[in-house]
Amino acid sequence: MTIFSKIIAGEIPCYKIAESDKFYAFLDIFPLQKGHTLVVPKIEEDKIFDLPDEYLSKALTFAKPIAQAIEKAFACNRVSLVTVGLEVPHAHIHLIPINEPSDINFNNKKYFTFAM
């Protein structure tokens, strides 16, 4: 069971943003920018493009209103969608508010911001 599955199951606390029958969205515990949100399928699959087609086709539809809310809530030019997928062996999408390309550099310092 991955750490994301434990978060979805409620075994590990998180700041939940949204949930559907197939997806779960929550704030990244080590965000690159304020508002950095993860969109995670409720099924465990390591690589994003190994997800069943029904998940791939619905991932962006689920993420869209979250990205729009992030853009309204944080001073940013746009919300970037990134699928690095190396940190946790569970497919996921990063939604990151950005103003310049360097805002999505995963080598930048990350901030621990978990608060319940």
Which one from 36, 90, 92, 94 is the annotated catalytic residue? 92
Residue 100 lies in a domain: yes
In a domain, 109, yes or no: no
In a domain, 84, yes or no: yes
Does the residue 113 lie in any domain?
no
Asked if the structure places residue 114 within a domain, the reply is: no
How would you write the pLDDT of the chain (116 residues) with one tens digit per residue? 999 999 999 999 999 999 999 999 999 998 989 999 999 999 999 999 999 999 999 999 999 999 999 999 998 999 999 998 888 999 999 999 999 988 877 776 666 555 44
- The answer to whether position 110 is within a domain reads no
Parent domain of 14: 3-104
* Full-model pTM: 0.90
In a domain, 111, yes or no: no
Residue 90 annotated in active site: no
Q: What is the pLDDT of residue 27?
A: 96
Longest dimension (CA), the chain: 36
Report pLDDT for 84. 87
| CATH label of the domain that carries residue 72 | 3.30.428.10
Give the chain's domain count.
1
pLDDT on residue 115: 47
